[in-house]
Amino acid sequence: MIKIQRLTLDNGLRVIVHEDHTTPMAAFNVAYDVGSRDEHPDHTGFAHLMEHFMFCGSENVPDFDKALQQVGAINNAYTSQDLTNYYILLPANNLETAFWVESDRMLQLAFRQESLDVQKHVVIEEYKENYLNRPYGDVLMLFNAMVYKRHPYQWLPIGKSIEQIAEVDMAMVRDFHHRFYCPNNAVLVVAGDVRADNVFALAEKWFGDIPSGPERMKSYPQELPQTEARKTVVERNVPSDLLLKGWRMCDRLHPDFYALDLLSDLFGTGQSSYLYQTFVTERKLFTDISAAVTGTADEGVFQISGRPVEGVSIEEADAALSDYLYGFKFDSTLPHDLQKVKNAAESVLLYNEIKIDDRATNLAVWETLDSVERFLDERQLYFDVTEEQMRRLTSELLTEEKSNTLFYKAKES
Amino acid sequence: MAFLDRSTPPAPYPVTDITLTAPRRHVLPNGIPLFVIDNPSLDLIHLTVEVGAGALHETPKHVLSFAYLLLKESSPKHSATEMDGLLDFYGATCSVSVTLESIKIKITFPKKNVADILPSIFEFLSTPHYREENLALYKSRRVKDLEYNSQKTNVRCSQLAKNALFGNKMAAGQFSTRENLMAVTIPQMEQSHRETFCAENIRMFATGNFDTELENCISQLFEQIPHGKRAAEIRDLALFEGVSSPVFEQMPDSVQSSIMICRTGPGYCDEQRRPLTILSTLTGGYFSSRLMQRLREKDGFTYGVYSDLTYFGNQSLFSISSDVNVQHTQAAIDACFEELDRLCREPIPDEEVEMVKHYIEGSLLRRVENSVSYLKQYDDWQSYGLDEREFQSMLQQVNDITAEELMDLAKIFFEHNKFTQIIVGNIL
């Protein structure tokens, strides 16, 4: 189990330290509790653009990347639906440089119009590269827009459109930074060859004088219970059809999350999963098929996706899959199968703890979601899942009226 | 409230002396070397079995890679489904990657399960029983991937580069087609596996919480690998030396063009390798590189532009690649060449050289940050007959190199007529 020490500064910044003296590196994460779910529907993609803009310099650090590269660091960031995480990995003896640059851009970001203009171009190219110029690039955009009708998860962090990114102005950037990029909305995690008392002293020195931001009342439009099956059909210039089905499920903090995660593994991870065995190996209706869950702060999605084999229509494949799912009953192999996915999950957890930067990122994400302590023994949380839970959740979740189906069809050439 | 004076950055410190411990070297009775990096806190054991044959040895195309990529589904005693279930039940994984010169089989398993799962893994690695139904399914999946990749400008760009580099006679240069994927047969795969999976062709690398029992278990299995013939070393391939006109493939619906500018270079053991690594990093190997600053941060043409060196045999491929706004395809290519020219003509500021030096020092440290990353780095060094001393050698070279030396190297290496240009997408 990962060992941590924590401190909260007077301005609300939560500081978490994980010492590991087997590595010469230090991982430094600042996670802000703001993601695409905090955007206005008319200004989507904004949190992600803000993440780009944060690299354009601050009052005392005109070039953020250069300042870090000069001390042997790499750094980057990502924006999810729930948070924005900035991370630095550097030789531990240069740790204080990370405190310098991160505190300066939290306190006094440089709002230069030229930088904003360039970053809008860069993000628009990222949009094209990942969502337009790639087969199946818009699948999740279409799918989320169908699954979520009220909640901001209906759009992805990249945003709904290039036009909304192009419309961003500096006043919006300043306001966003003021509201969300403040110590009481952030978590600082430092892990690696560091001493907790030293990290706490550095945190007080560099972040202690940054004023708290406005109090936040987080409130998001919640989805109504789904009572009718939803379906979207599109045609695109892609090589083959893709079927994607999903059911809204609990959030990441719900006690059922671990059971649903294991359920998705039972159904659709690997060749011994139920869906692969049934639809790829035995019935030969799909070339591949898999299942997964999204672990989001608000309601997530249990997803199944697959590509029908040549000669099998997407309608035929979907009908067979639906029949199977809605009539599904576990048989006598459940105890063995459940133990199998628990063991596999345990190995994944061990694997995710190898790199010091992965550990730091996990800690930052967990603390932003709720509190680190809640997640420190996830192995036990997976092992506590019962057969009864699996049976209950399967019958509660996998129903036709709660389903969302995307037919992503290849255009006839 | 008075704010801390942040105008002065904290003092930077150089990378302190890092002494890497050499892995323990153990030679199995059949001659296979096993390198072990002990890590008492790692109960998930990592074992890499490296086979000294890769895409450059392949003939016909796909046969060698199919033979290894289908191993997990070729257990003599278990069906693919059963084997996958067994691996999961014991928390184990087995993945295969094929590079130009080698095949790497990466196995992970919890230490407590070694006796339960490793014998089953060894069985399919050493005596695979390929099945027609698995091969047929794998082919159909690969055909779908092929169709998918044919619509991706960057994948197509990379394929055209390999074709220009290795030509149509070598499998590594040939395009993947439905026909050559479907043509692979089980007898061909069996032969390919028989010829390459032999003691003379294998090295093993491991890390984790090792003890005598674990080491014995691994040794007793892998010492059964029979002797055979070592795969021919790849040397002195006749590769392209620059093509006068760009290779251009039109994809009218693209909203971006993929561009690649490439040339051949010296091999890993050449004395120019380390200076060239520094020059490549400065050119396009990190965020503050010349190309990134120009094409992304100044011009906004792209989300990213990268330069890279890929080594094989006695040679390497230096490439610059990017996905760019179609309206600026030609301008982006011109900008790349202008930046290469600038490196040849204008002295590189000392501050920039210092920055790239520190960045590379940090990169080196990251590669040995934990025992798994060190294992991978050590494996790479061993491929070229090097060991942990390479870490200090590279650090020394990075410290010693001057701006003048980098400029001299740029003048030789960045000559325009040595480069081939590949563009897939649109030139508006």
Alpha helices for B73-223 (secondary structure H): 80-89, 114-126, 132-150, 153-166, 178-182, 186-196, 212-222
CB-based contact B91:B151 (threshold 8 Å) = no
Q: Across the interface, which of A61, A122, A136 has its CB nearest the CB of B296?
A: A122
Question: Please, what's the b/e burial string for B208-228 (b: 16 or more CB within 10 A of its CB; e: otherwise)?
Answer: bebeeebeeebbebbeebeee
Q: Does B350 touch chain A (CB under 8 A)?
A: no
User: Which residues of B are less than 8 Å from A161 in CB distance?
Assistant: none
A397 by DSSP, 3-state: which? helix
Q: Quote the Cα angle for A101-A103-A109, to 5°.
A: 80
Q: What is the pLDDT of residues A12-24, one digit of tens each?
A: 999 999 999 999 9
pLDDT at B232 over 90: no
CA distance A410 to chain B (A): 11
Distance CA B3, CA A206 (A): 9
pLDDT at A183 over 80: yes
pLDDT at B144 over 70: yes
User: Which residues of B are less than 8 Å from A267 in CB distance?
Assistant: none
Inter-chain touch B88–A343, beta carbons under 8 Å? yes
Distance CA B132, CA B189 (A): 12
B 43-62 → A contacts, CB under 8 A: 43-44
DSSP class per residue in B22-82: PPEEEE-TTS-EEEEEE-TT--EEEEEEEES--GGG-SSTTHHHHHHHTGGG--SSS-HHH
CA distance A59 to chain B (A): 8
CB-based contact A156:A36 (threshold 8 Å) = yes
Residues 6+ apart with CB under 8 A from B332: B257, B259, B295, B299, B301, B302, B305, B322, B324, B325
Q: Please state, rounded to an integer, the average pLDDT across all residues of chain B.
A: 92
Distance CA A191, CA B143 (A): 44
Q: Does B6 touch chain A (CB under 8 A)?
A: yes
No. of helices (H) and no. of strands (E), chain B? 15, 11
Residue of B341, B6, B216, B287 lying closest to A206 (CA atoms): B6
Quick one: CA dihedral B177, B183, B189, B192, positive or negative?
negative
What is the reported pLDDT for A410?
95
DSSP letter at B418? G
What is the reported pLDDT for B243?
62
Mean pLDDT of A255-270: 97
ipTM of the complex: 0.88
Distance CA B181, CA B185 (A): 10
DSSP class per residue in A362-382: HHHHHHHHS-GGGGTTHHHHH
What is the reported pLDDT for B181?
96
Q: Across the interface, which of A61, A133, A339 has its CB nearest the CB of B254?
A: A133
Distance CA B316, CA B262 (A): 10
Place of tokens 């990592």: B46
Q: Compare all CA atoms of chain A with the CA of B94 and give the residue at the minimum distance.
A: A270
E strand or H helix that includes residue B328: none
Start-to-end Cα distance in chain A: 55
Q: Across the interface, which of A104, A128, A356 has its CB nearest the CB of B255?
A: A128
CA distance B133 to chain A (A): 9
Percentage of residues of chain A with pLDDT beyond 70? 100
DSSP letter at A256? T
pLDDT at A328 over 70: yes
Mean pLDDT of A236-256: 96
Q: Compare all CA atoms of chain A with the CA of B425 and give the residue at the minimum distance.
A: A133
Task: Please state at what angle helix A95-107 crosses helix A196-207, rounded to 10 degrees.
Answer: 30
Inter-chain touch A23–B370, beta carbons under 8 Å? yes
Higher pLDDT pick, B60 / B105: B105
CA distance B148 to chain A (A): 6
Q: Compare all CA atoms of chain B with the CA of A126 and give the residue at the minimum distance.
A: B303
Cross-strand bridge partners of residue A232: A406
Inter-chain touch B13–A22, beta carbons under 8 Å? no
Inter-chain touch A209–B302, beta carbons under 8 Å? no
Distance CA B339, CA B349 (A): 14
Distance CA B91, CA A345 (A): 8
Q: What are the CA-CA distances from residue B257 to residues B23, B147, B152, B161 (Å)? A: 45, 19, 10, 15
CB-based contact A91:A72 (threshold 8 Å) = yes
Query: Among A129, A207, A269, A355, which would you mutate to test the B interface (most chain B Cβ atoms within 10 Å of its Cβ)?
Result: A129
Confidence of residue B163 (pLDDT cuts 50, 70, 90): confident
- How would you write A97-119 as a 3-class SS string? HHHHHHHHHHHCECCCHHHHHHH
Distance CA A196, CA B419 (A): 52
User: Which residues of B are less than 8 Å from A89 in CB distance?
Assistant: 362, 366
pLDDT at A179 over 90: yes
Confidence of residue A89 (pLDDT cuts 50, 70, 90): very high
DSSP class per residue in A30-41: EEES--GGGS-T
Q: What is the pLDDT of residues B93-136, one digit of tens each?
A: 999 999 988 999 999 999 999 999 999 999 999 999 999 999 99
Distance CA B119, CA A77 (A): 42
A407 by DSSP, 3-state: which? strand
Confidence of residue B236 (pLDDT cuts 50, 70, 90): low
Q: Please state, rounded to an integer, the average pLDDT across all residues of chain A.
A: 96
Confidence of residue B234 (pLDDT cuts 50, 70, 90): low
Q: Does B178 touch chain A (CB under 8 A)?
A: no
Q: What are the CA-CA distances from residue A260 to residues A253, A255, B110, B303 (Å)? A: 12, 10, 24, 36
Query: Among B114, B132, B366, which would you mutate to test the A interface (most chain A Cβ atoms within 10 Å of its Cβ)?
Result: B366
User: Which residues of B are less than 8 Å from A63 in CB distance?
Assistant: 288
Cross-strand bridge partners of residue A247: A302, A403
Q: Does B338 touch chain A (CB under 8 A)?
A: no
Q: Across the interface, which of B288, B298, B365 has its CB nearest the CB of A25?
A: B365
Q: How far is CA A193 from the centre of its chain?
A: 27
Residues 6+ apart with CB under 8 A from A298: A37, A82, A151, A153, A220, A222, A251
Mean pLDDT of A261-287: 96
| Preceding omega of B60 cis (within 30 degrees of 0) | yes
Q: Across the interface, which of A97, A129, A133 has its CB nearest the CB of B12?
A: A97
Cross-strand bridge partners of residue B256: B325
Residue of B268, B232, B285 lying closest to B56 (CA atoms): B232
Q: Across the interface, which of A104, A288, A343 has its CB nearest the CB of B90?
A: A343
Q: Across the interface, which of A60, A239, A354 has its CB nearest the CB of B147?
A: A239
Confidence of residue A412 (pLDDT cuts 50, 70, 90): confident
Q: Does B226 touch chain A (CB under 8 A)?
A: no
Residues 6+ apart with CB under 8 A from A64: A54, A55, A56, A57, A58, A75, A101, A105
Q: Does B138 touch chain A (CB under 8 A)?
A: no
What is the reported pLDDT for B164?
85
pLDDT at A77 over 80: yes
Residue of B406, B404, B416, B403 lying closest to B279 (CA atoms): B406
What is the reported pLDDT for A83?
98
CB-based contact A214:A87 (threshold 8 Å) = no
E strand or H helix that includes residue A230: strand A230-236
Residues 6+ apart with CB under 8 A from B202: B32, B49, B50, B51, B52, B222, B225
Q: Does B209 touch chain A (CB under 8 A)?
A: no
Q: Across the interface, which of A125, A340, A350 has its CB nearest the CB of B325?
A: A125
Mean pLDDT of B188-202: 96
Inter-chain touch B370–A22, beta carbons under 8 Å? yes
Mean pLDDT of B218-227: 97
A274 by DSSP, 3-state: which? helix
CA distance B47 to chain A (A): 13
Query: Among B1, B5, B6, which would you mutate to test the A interface (most chain A Cβ atoms within 10 Å of its Cβ)?
Result: B6
> Any idea how long chain A is?
413
A90 by DSSP, 3-state: which? strand
Question: Please, what's the b/e burial string for A122-139 (b: 16 or more CB within 10 A of its CB; e: otherwise)?
Answer: bbbbbbbbebebbbbbbb
Given its phi and psi angles, is residue B425 left (phi above 0), alpha (psi -120 to 50 degrees) or beta?
A: left
Inter-chain touch B370–A135, beta carbons under 8 Å? no
CA distance A2 to chain B (A): 12
pLDDT at B255 over 70: yes
Higher pLDDT pick, B236 / A120: A120
